[in-house]
Amino acid sequence: MASQIKMIFAPGKEVSWEDFRDYPPRSIAVDGFCKGGPQFDQDRIVLNINHHEGVDRIATRSSCLQAMLLVKLGLFDGFVDENGRPCATLYLNDCDQDVALATYILLHPEQVDRPKLKHLVRIEDLMDMSGGLYPTRKRLHLMKQLNWIMRPYTKARANGKLRELDAKGMETIVKEMHRRIRLTLFNGSTEVDVDTDYDVVSEHDGWVMVRERGEAARIGMAENKVKAFVSIIAESADRRHYTIGRLSQFILFPIPKLYDDLNKAEGLGSEAKHRWGGSDTIGGSPREVGSCLTPDEVAAVIDRRLAKLRKSAASK
C-alpha cells in the first residue's frame, strides 16, 4: 500500500512547540524545525522528533534513532489517512546526515528492520550525540560507507555552499542521500576514504577553534584527543556561522552557559528571534542569520567563562 508522506524544507526556520501544534494533523517536525525535546500531541496528531534544545543529548539520542524506534513502536498506526495508508508531512530546516537517515526511515517504514540500515543509524547516532567526536576506529568500515552516502551534504558543508542552499537545494541533497542509502541497502556497500583534515585557527586551554576542511574532520579531531571545539562553518564580510561542541557533558566546556554568554555578547535578549542555542553537547550560532562576533570575540567570551569556572573550582 503506497504511503502518502512528503517533505517540506524551510532552511533555517525554527518554530516553537506551541506554534507547531497548530500545524495540520499528521505533521512531523524533524531534527530542529521545532524547538525543544520530543513531544507528541495525540489530539492534534502532531509530533516533534528532535534532540537539540533542552534535552540530555546522550539520553535523548539522534533524530534518526528516534524515528526508527517510533516506527517500530507503531508510529504509522496513528499517522494514516482515511484509507489506512501511512500519511505524514515532514518539516525540515536542514539537510544533514541525521535528517537524511531520519527522513529515509519515515519515508520507507517497511525497511526499518533491515540490518544494514540499523548499523548505519547506530553509527550516526553515536556521532551525532557526541558532536562528531565519538571514537570510531573500530567502526571505520561503517564510517567509510556512511561517508559515501552523506558526501552530497558533507561536500556542501566543506566548500561553504551549505548556507546558500534554498529549499529546493536542500531537498535535492537529501534525495541524493536517500538514493545512496537505498543502493547501500540493496546493491551492496560503497566505501570511500574518510578525509579527516582540519585547520586549527587557535588553541585554548581545554578547547580549540577550527575550520573543517575534510568531510569527516571531527573524526580527525577525535583521534587528536580534541574534546571541545568551535568550528567556523561559513563566513561573509560581517557574519559568520559557528558550531560549538563537546564530547559529553563531563567535559569542562559548559555549552548551555556559553550560549547565554554569546547571546549577551551579541546583545540578543531572550525575546530575540535568532539566538545562539542547541543541546548540552552541540549547537551554534543562529541558524538562519549567523553571528556578528569575530572568531577572536567568540574565543574571548569562552575563555572568560572557563577562567571563571576554574577560579571557582580552585576556591572550593
Lowest mean pLDDT among 68-72, 96-100, 211-215, 242-246: 211-215
Judgement on whether residues 220 and 171 belong to the same structural domain of the protein:
no
Query: Cell triple for residue 66?
Result: 528516534
pLDDT in tens, 143-157: 889 989 999 998 888
C-alpha angle 33-34-38 in degrees, rounded to nearest 5: 120
Domain with 213, as residue range(s), is: 198-314
Inform me whether the pLDDT recorded for 138 exceeds 70.
no
CA distance 38 to 29: 9
Q: Is 71 left (phi over 0), alpha (psi -120 to 50) or beta?
A: alpha
pLDDT in tens, 10-31: 998 999 999 999 999 999 999 9
Are the beta carbons of 229 and 209 closer than 8 angstroms?
yes
Q: In this predicted structure, what is the pLDDT of residue 230?
A: 98
Q: In this predicted structure, what is the pLDDT of residue 243?
A: 95
Q: Tell whether 250 is covered by a domain.
A: yes
Q: In this predicted structure, what is the pLDDT of residue 1?
A: 47
Which residues are CB-neighbours of 183 under 8 A, at least 6 positions away? Answer: 190
Judgement on whether residues 167 and 202 belong to the same structural domain of the protein:
no
Judgement on whether residues 17 and 90 belong to the same structural domain of the protein:
yes
pLDDT in tens, 290-313: 999 999 999 999 999 999 999 888
The last residue of one of the domains, among 187, 212, 227, is 187
Residue 139: pLDDT band with limits 50, 70, 90 = low
Judgement on whether residues 25 and 108 belong to the same structural domain of the protein:
yes
Judgement on whether residues 241 and 182 belong to the same structural domain of the protein:
no
Q: What percentage of the chain carries pLDDT values higher than 90?
A: 69
First and final C-alpha spacing in the chain: 64
More confident residue, 58 or 206: 206
Residue 237: pLDDT band with limits 50, 70, 90 = confident
Q: Tell whether 192 is covered by a domain.
A: no
Secondary structure, 3-state, 47-100:
EEECCCCCCCHHHHCCHHHHHHHHHHCCHHHHCECCCCCEEEEEEECCCCHHHH
Inform me whether the pLDDT recorded for 2 exceeds 80.
no
Judgement on whether residues 150 and 241 belong to the same structural domain of the protein:
no
pLDDT (average), residues 245-268: 95
Q: Tell whether 213 is covered by a domain.
A: yes
Nearest CA-CA partner of 239 in 201, 288, 197: 288
Q: Tell whether 193 is covered by a domain.
A: no
pLDDT (average), residues 172-190: 95
Judgement on whether residues 180 and 208 belong to the same structural domain of the protein:
no
- 144: phi then psi, degrees, rounded to nearest 5: -65, -35
Judgement on whether residues 179 and 209 belong to the same structural domain of the protein:
no
Q: In this predicted structure, what is the pLDDT of residue 20?
A: 98
pTM of the entire predicted model? 0.84
Inform me whether the pLDDT recorded for 67 exceeds 60.
yes
What is the strand order of the sheet 240-246 is part of? Answer: 198-204, 207-212, 228-235, 240-246, 282-284, 277-278
Judgement on whether residues 125 and 267 belong to the same structural domain of the protein:
no
CB neighbour class for 117 (10 Å; exposed up to 12, middle 13-18, buried from 19): buried
The last residue of one of the domains, among 187, 210, 230, is 187
Q: Tell whether 102 is covered by a domain.
A: yes
Q: What percentage of the chain carries pLDDT values higher than 70?
A: 98
pLDDT (average), residues 118-129: 92
Residue 3: pLDDT band with limits 50, 70, 90 = low
